[in-house]
């Protein structure tokens, strides 16, 4: 018998296998999946003969069973803004409401939702009021 899976249908079955294996290896390399769990590649090959039993039609379906990404969890502070009445939400970064923390990425002290404290303490720079030209319409009309 000269049926080589990598040559049938111009290599289509081999391509399906290669694609699924690529998915499996990408899933293994994903650090958000459990490393040692089993993955699976399935090639289902159906063989359908004709009524005369002289030829068959071969179809192939491929699929892979991957490990799901690990669940993640975070805490979010929320409430209604007293000034605007709008609901606001922000991720809790410090571990406890109202607790400041030192951000290890930039070594800045930040609020419980990650806003740098030094930004909160900066006085708002007052900008000079925009100078507007005053037009005296009475003088303009007399000219």
Residue 132 — pLDDT band, cuts 50, 70, 90? low
The pTM of this model reads 0.56
List, for residues 89-131, the tens digit of each pLDDT value.
888 888 788 888 888 888 888 888 888 888 887 766 555 566 6
Q: What is the CA radius of gyration of the chain?
A: 34
Dump pLDDT digits (tens) for 48-97: 999 999 999 999 999 999 999 998 888 888 888 888 999 988 888 887 88
Question: CA separation (Å) from 2 to 7, 11, 14, 44, 65?
Answer: 10, 14, 16, 20, 30
Please answer whether residues 98 and 112 qualify as being in contact, where contact means their C-beta atoms are separated by less than 8 angstroms.
yes
**23 closest CA partner among 60, 70, 62, 64:** 64
Give a three-class secondary structure readout of 44-88.
Answer: EEEEEECCCCCCEEEEEEEEEECCCCCCCCCCEEEEECCCCCCEE
For residue range 24-48, list pLDDT tens digits in order.
Answer: 999 999 999 999 999 999 999 999 9
């Amino acid at each position: 018998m000269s049926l080589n899976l990598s040559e049938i249908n111009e290599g289509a079955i081999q391509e399906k296998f290669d694609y699924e294996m690529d998915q499996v290896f990408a899933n293994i390399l994903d650090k958000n999946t459990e490393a040692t769990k089993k993955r699976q590649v399935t090639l289902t090959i159906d063989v359908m003969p004709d009524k005369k039993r002289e030829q068959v039609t071969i179809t192939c379906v491929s699929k892979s069973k991957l490990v799901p990404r690990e669940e993640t969890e975070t805490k979010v502070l929320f409430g209604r803004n007293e000034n605007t009445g709008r609901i606001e939400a922000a991720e809790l970064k410090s571990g406890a409401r109202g607790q400041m923390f030192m951000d290890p990425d930039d070594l800045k002290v930040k609020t419980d939702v990650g806003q740098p404290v030094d930004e909160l303490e900066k006085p708002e720079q007052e900008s000079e009021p925009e100078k507007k030209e005053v037009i005296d319409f009475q003088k303009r009309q007399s000219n």
